[in-house]
Amino acid sequence: MMKSYNKYHNGEELTKLDKELVILMLDDYLEIKKLAEGDEELMEVSERLYELTNNIDNIGLYDPEKRRKEEEALKIEYHSKIAEEKGAKDEKKTIAKNLLNMGISKKDIMKATGLSKKQITMLM
């Protein structure tokens, strides 16, 4: 997408696909309309975009700042989940190590913690 956008800004010749991709990135209707000139389908798309953009019912539906905050919240949630899973895994290993020190068999530790025999052996 960026390659097409760069070609557009460098004044290079664009394929129809390039134009379609660039239209998705532009936010100036006049620029979109100029880019669509000469291609009936793209001109129709530019008109439809204009109608949608200026429809009072659609104005404000897309809020870039709100979207950024939502994406940030998803990232935080994802990393929290990863950290929580790592913490649970570390806790299992700590428990297994304590059970080993108490003389509990590897087989029983495997049942109690869900760790594999190899994971338990590595704790020794």
What pLDDT, in 10s, does the model give residues 17-73? 999 999 988 888 889 999 999 999 999 999 988 887 777 676 666 677 877 888 899
Considering the domain architecture, whether residues 75 and 46 belong to the same structural domain is answered as no
Spatial distance between the Cα atoms of 103 and 98, rounded to a whole number of angstroms: 9
**Could you tell me the pTM of the whole model?**
0.42
Whether 46 is in a domain gets the answer yes
Clarify whether residues 71 and 107 are in a common domain.
Answer: yes
Q: Quote the number of domains for the chain.
A: 2
Contacts of 116 (CB under 8 A, 6+ apart): 110
**What does the pLDDT look like over 107-118, one tens digit per residue?**
999 999 999 999
Same-domain pairing of 85 and 118? yes
Tell me, yes or no, whether 40 lies in a domain. yes
**Domain residue limits at 27:** 2-53
pLDDT band at 5 (very low <50, low <70, confident <90, very high): confident
Q: Does residue 8 sit in the same domain as residue 45?
A: yes
- 38 and 79, same domain (yes or no): no
Domain identity same for 48 and 12: yes
Rounded CA-CA distance 77/84 in Å is 10
Whether residue 59 lies inside any domain: the answer is no
Say yes or no: 77 and 110 in one domain.
Answer: yes
In a domain, 58, yes or no: no
The DSSP-derived string for 86-124 is HHHHHHHHHHHHHHHHTT--HHHHHHHH---HHHHHHT-
* 103 in any annotated domain: yes
**Rounded distance, CA 117 to CA 9, Å?**
60
Contact 92, 120 (CB under 8 A): no
| Coil vs helix vs strand at 60 | coil
| Amino acid residing at 112 | A
